[in-house]
Structures are given as structure tokens and as C-alpha cells.
């Protein structure tokens, strides 16, 4: 395999300045939304004391889960030795760190009292999965940064394989921890299930690859660097496999829920009677984010590889946001069963479906997380050599 050459992208061009300005404006708007919510109180959001994780959490969880999956390309090239993917390892690591930064920024700013973050980072309750995730998220930055160092500095090449394996294992543990947040919440009937951990791993593979593919396509297009059809075919087929795995674990989750006698109500709510949640599940998650990308990935639909990769990746992102919305918001909308097997009666929201309508401030904050991730990627490829000068088709057939 010939040596790959990496170069920074050119800064301060009109397009570069316009993109930085646009992303900066989105981040500024997100900060203004945070200021509004913090100073007025969270009553100005759509959240209530039943639905306490709103739309910003949907964006945050999507970005955090996608961060783990975005590193998958680097792992395929280094841990599993697939040479065609190795030139993309640097960009894969950068995208992973950027997505996690964007997701955590939204998470911290949405929880309220972000000034007390230092308390959460210095006082740990090790019986809480949330405390473990603080360690996993911060450790992810360190592990991936070291992994990138071994890729970019020839003096560190002897540590490349151990760093690759460490990053691969760390991201699996990180995604398992994120899924376990929901799997361990047994009070929420839509959540508590052991299958949540592998489901989140499958989600991360699909979301991360979709985001990475769009970043790669955009970078190649705007910088004029060649990107061969064979690489795109590999990526879109791999995306199809990850989407199929996601659909499998979704089906397994709901079949498991239906098997439990006490969870028929919440399953009927999500699958049939949930209004917007049912529509998002079948229309957004299953059809747009699942079936259509599978058809595009494995039949082509007559489109060129670049178009197939673009459409499939966008659909997976849309379906992913719908999936996380149904999981997080829909799971909270279903009423809590505080005393299983007992009849409880009161005048305060017992047994009622809880309403939630996201506000503009919440939407802007969530989009701000995407903008933060995009800006980190843009600045990263500008100051350091993350992007190959070209990925033209090699002589060997795609694998």
C-alpha cells in the first residue's frame, strides 16, 4: 500500500470564513438560549417535573453515541488490519472527539447549574452509572488523543497497536455505560432492560459512520480532494450492516418488552397508540432511518456511490434523532409505576400520559451542539494534518 500524504486544508478562504461565521452564529444563539433558560428558569422550556430530559438531551445523547461509532473507521483499519480504511484513521479520531465535545457541551448546559460541574467531577458516587460515565467520557478524550498521537508522530509508532486496541475497548465500554443509564432505570418501563447496552452499541456504529461519511464527503467536495467510488461503496455497505444490526436489537428490545406481562401498556403506547411517538418510531426510526438506508446500501437504487452515501447517511441521522427522541421523550411520557402491583390514586398526574412540546430555546441549544462539533472538526483539519490529499480508487477490488 502506497504511503498516504496528509495536508491541512486552506484557511481564510471566503468559504472557510463563511462556514466559521455561520457555525459561530449558531453557537452564539445556543449560548443565548442557555442564558434565557437559566435566568428565566426551566418553566420556559417544554420540560415538566415528569419529562425532565428534553430535546437538548436528544441531541446530546445522539452526539455522544455517534462519537463512539465515528471511531469505528480507525478501529477497522488498525485493530482489524483493513488497509483501505487506514488513511481515514486520523479523521475518524478527530470526528469522534468533536462529536463527544458537542454532546457533552449540550448535556452540561441543559442540566441546569453548569457552574456546579466541578462538584460532579470531584465527588463520585461509584454506585451511580452517571458517575462512571463522567470517568468514561473524560477518559475517552485522553485515550483518543493518545491514539491520534501514535498515528501522527513516527516516534510513537511502537505504541500504535496498543493505543488502537485501548481506544477500541474504551469506546465499547463508554457506549455500554451510556446504554446502561437507561438499562438500569427500572422505574421507567420503557427503559429497564439488559438489551439496552448492545442496542446502544449498534446505534453508535450506525450514527457514527453516517456522520463520519458526511464529514468525509463534505471535506472532499469543498477541498477538491479525490474520493474514489470504491471507498464510498465500502462505507455505504458497512453502514447498511450497522443499520441492520440496529434494527435487529430494536426488534429484540420490543419483543422482550412484550414478553413481560407488565409492559404491554408501554409497548402499545410506543408501537400503536402513542401519537407523535408512534409516528416517529415507524416513520422516522424504522422507515427513514432503517429500511430506506438498507435498500440504498444494498441495491443502489440506480444512484452513483457518492449520492448513495450522502442520502443513506442523512437518512440514518434523521432516523437516529427520531429513535433517540422516542426512547428518551417517549419513555418519560409514559407514566411511572411507583408501586407495582398496587392501586395508587391521587389528583396529580397519576396514570396520565405526560405532554411535552419542545421550545425554540431547546431546539437552538441542541443545534448548537452540532455546531460545536462541526467547528471543532473544521479547526482541527485546518491546523493539523488529519485529511489525506486524496483517496482515489486503488487497483484492488473493494472488500
Name the more confident of 347 and 6: 6
In a domain, 396, yes or no: no
Name the more confident of 345 and 132: 132
| Burial call 236-249: b when 16+ CB within 10 Å, e when fewer | bebbbebbbbbbeb
Largest CA distance in the chain: 72
Position 348 confidence tier, pLDDT thresholds 50, 70, 90: low
C-beta of residue 131 within 8 angstroms of C-beta of residue 124: yes
In a domain, 3, yes or no: no
C-alpha cell at 175: 457506549
Tell me which residue range forms the domain holding 30.
Answer: 9-337+353-387
Cell 401498556: give the residue. 265
What pLDDT shows up at residue 398? 43
Domain count, the chain: 1
Percent of all residues in the chain with a pLDDT value above 70, rounded to a whole number: 93
> Of the candidates 332, 390, 387, which has an alpha carbon nearest to the alpha carbon of residue 356?
332
Name the more confident of 183 and 204: 204
Q: Is this prediction's pTM over 0.75?
A: yes
What pLDDT shows up at residue 366? 94
In a domain, 344, yes or no: no
Cβ-based neighbours of 75, under 8 Å, separated by 6 or more: 164, 167, 168, 171
What pLDDT shows up at residue 341? 62
Average pLDDT over residues 255-262: 83
Name the more confident of 229 and 312: 312
In a domain, 372, yes or no: yes
What pLDDT shows up at residue 396? 43
For 114-167, the pLDDT digits (tens) are: 777 777 677 777 777 777 878 888 899 999 999 999 998 888 889 999 999 999
CATH (domain of 307): 1.20.1630.10
For 333-344, the pLDDT digits (tens) are: 888 766 666 666
For 381-399, the pLDDT digits (tens) are: 999 989 888 777 655 444 4
For 159-181, the pLDDT digits (tens) are: 999 999 999 999 999 999 888 88
Taken in order 337, 338, 340, 344, is the CA torsion positive or negative? negative
SS3 assignment, position 11 = coil
Percent of all residues in the chain with a pLDDT value above 90, rounded to a whole number: 52
In a domain, 200, yes or no: yes
What pLDDT shows up at residue 260? 79
In a domain, 48, yes or no: yes
C-beta of residue 26 within 8 angstroms of C-beta of residue 330: no
In a domain, 42, yes or no: yes
In a domain, 328, yes or no: yes
C-beta of residue 371 within 8 angstroms of C-beta of residue 56: no
What pLDDT shows up at residue 284? 93
Quickly list DSSP for 194-261: TTHHHHHHHHHHHHHHHHHHHHHHHHHHHHT--B-HHHHHHHHHHHHHHHHHHHHHHHHHHHHHHHSG
CA distance 348 to 332: 16
C-beta of residue 177 within 8 angstroms of C-beta of residue 100: no
Angle ∠(140,146,151) on CA atoms, nearest 5 = 125
| Burial call 370-385: b when 16+ CB within 10 Å, e when fewer | bbbbbbbbbebbbeee
C-beta of residue 357 within 8 angstroms of C-beta of residue 45: no
CA distance 6 to 384: 9
What pLDDT shows up at residue 393? 65
Amino acid at each position: 500500500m502506497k504511503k498516504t500524504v496528509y495536508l491541512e486544508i486552506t484557511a481564510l478562504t471566503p468559504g472557510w470564513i463563511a462556514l466559521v461565521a455561520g457555525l459561530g452564529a449558531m453557537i452564539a444563539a445556543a449560548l443565548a438560549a442557555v442564558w434565557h433558560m437559566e435566568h428565566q428558569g426551566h418553566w420556559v422550556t417544554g420540560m415538566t417535573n415528569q419529562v425532565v430530559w428534553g430535546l437538548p438531551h436528544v441531541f446530546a445523547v445522539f452526539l455522544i453515541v455517534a462519537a463512539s461509532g465515528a471511531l469505528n473507521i480507525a478501529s477497522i483499519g488498525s485493530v482489524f488490519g483493513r488497509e483501505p480504511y487506514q488513511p481515514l484513521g486520523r479523521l475518524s479520531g478527530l470526528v469522534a472527539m468533536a462529536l463527544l465535545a458537542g454532546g457533552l457541551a449540550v448535556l452540561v448546559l441543559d442540566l441546569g447549574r453548569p457552574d456546579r460541574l466541578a462538584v460532579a467531577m470531584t465527588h463520585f458516587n461509584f454506585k451511580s452509572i452517571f458517575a462512571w460515565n463522567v470517568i468514561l467520557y473524560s477518559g475517552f478524550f485522553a485515550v483518543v488523543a493518545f491514539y491520534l498521537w501514535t498515528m501522527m508522530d513516527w516516534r510513537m509508532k511502537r505504541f500504535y497497536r496498543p493505543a488502537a486496541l485501548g481506544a477500541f475497548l474504551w469506546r465499547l465500554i463508554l457506549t455500554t455505560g451510556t446504554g446502561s443509564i437507561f438499562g438500569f432505570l427500572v422505574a421507567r418501563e420503557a427503559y429497564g432492560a439488559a438489551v439496552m447496552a448492545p442496542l446502544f452499541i449498534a446505534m453508535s456504529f450506525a450514527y457514527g459512520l453516517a456522520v463520519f461519511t458526511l464529514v468525509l464527503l463534505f471535506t472532499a467536495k469543498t477541498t477538491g480532494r479525490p474520493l474514489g467510488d470504491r471507498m464510498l461503496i465500502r462505507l455505504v455497505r458497512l453502514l447498511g450492516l450497522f443499520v441492520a444490526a440496529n434494527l435487529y436489537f430494536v426488534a429484540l428490545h420490543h419483543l422482550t418488552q412484550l414478553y413481560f406481562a407488565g409492559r404491554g401498556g408501554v409497548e402499545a403506547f410506543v408501537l400503536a397508540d402513542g401519537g407523535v411517538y408512534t409516528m416517529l418510531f415507524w416513520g422516522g426510526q424504522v422507515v427513514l432511518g432503517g429500511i430506506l438506508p438498507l435498500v440504498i446500501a444494498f441495491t443502489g437504487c440506480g444512484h452513483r456511490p457518492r449520492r448513495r452515501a450522502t442520502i443513506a447517511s442523512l437518512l440514518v441521522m434523521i432516523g437516529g434523532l427520531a429513535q433517540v427522541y422516542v426512547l428518551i421523550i417517549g419513555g418519560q411520557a409514559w407514566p411511572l409505576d411507583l408501586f407495582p402491583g398496587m392501586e395508587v390514586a391521587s389528583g396529580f398526574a397519576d396514570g396520565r400520559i405526560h405532554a411535552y412540546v419542545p421550545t425554540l430555546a431547546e431546539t437552538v441549544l441542541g443545534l448548537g451542539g452540532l455546531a460545536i462539533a462541526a467547528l471543532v472538526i473544521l479547526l482541527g483539519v485546518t491546523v493539523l494534518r488529519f485529511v489525506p490529499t486524496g483517496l482515489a480508487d486503488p487497483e484492488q477490488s473493494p472488500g
